């Protein structure tokens, strides 16, 4: 999958437009992703992601980086053997696209606003 473009509250992935937070898996986009505490990412918000066992999880914290990823969430992800990158969504999109084709299983969880 390729992210064609991103702007505040809007992302285009493989030509399809989304206006809600998304998780990009290898073969599909989950556009119904929401977190229990809104702007605070908890391990239980990533149950399906962790089950998918990516090599790398890229987390986009929003246009202005408002969504927080607590240290215990990062530690939980890393304890599963998953590399994690936490960046503002604009940078997370660039990281995701640049890592495509590197023979790694990459998942991106992207907050599109804030």
- For residues 4 and 34, what is the distance between their CA atoms, to the nearest angstrom? 22
Q: How many domains does the chain have?
A: 1
| pLDDT for residue 18 | 98
Q: Which domain holds residue 74?
A: 3-110
User: For the whole model, what pTM was predicted?
Assistant: 0.96
CATH of the domain at 58: 3.40.1230.10
- For residues 22 and 81, what is the distance between their CA atoms, to the nearest angstrom? 23
Per-residue pLDDT of the chain (114 residues), as tens digits, is: 999 999 999 999 999 999 999 999 999 999 999 899 989 999 999 999 999 999 999 999 999 999 999 999 999 999 999 999 999 999 999 999 999 988 999 999 999 999
| pLDDT for residue 102 | 87
- For residues 69 and 14, what is the distance between their CA atoms, to the nearest angstrom? 27
In angstroms, the Cα distances linking 85 to 1, 15, 16, 18 are 18, 25, 24, 22
| pLDDT for residue 75 | 98
């Amino acid at each position: 999958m390729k992210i064609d473009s991103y702007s505040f509250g809007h992302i285009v992935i493989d030509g399809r437009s989304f206006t809600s937070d998304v998780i990009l898996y290898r073969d599909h986009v989950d556009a119904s992703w929401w977190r229990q505490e809104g702007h605070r990412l908890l391990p239980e918000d990533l149950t399906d992601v962790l089950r998918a066992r990516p090599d790398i999880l890229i987390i986009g914290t929003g246009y202005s980086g408002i969504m927080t990823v607590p240290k215990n969430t990062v530690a939980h992800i890393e304890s599963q053997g998953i590399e994690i990158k936490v960046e503002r969504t604009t940078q997370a999109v660039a990281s995701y696209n640049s890592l495509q084709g590197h023979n790694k299983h990459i998942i991106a969880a992207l907050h599109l606003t804030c």
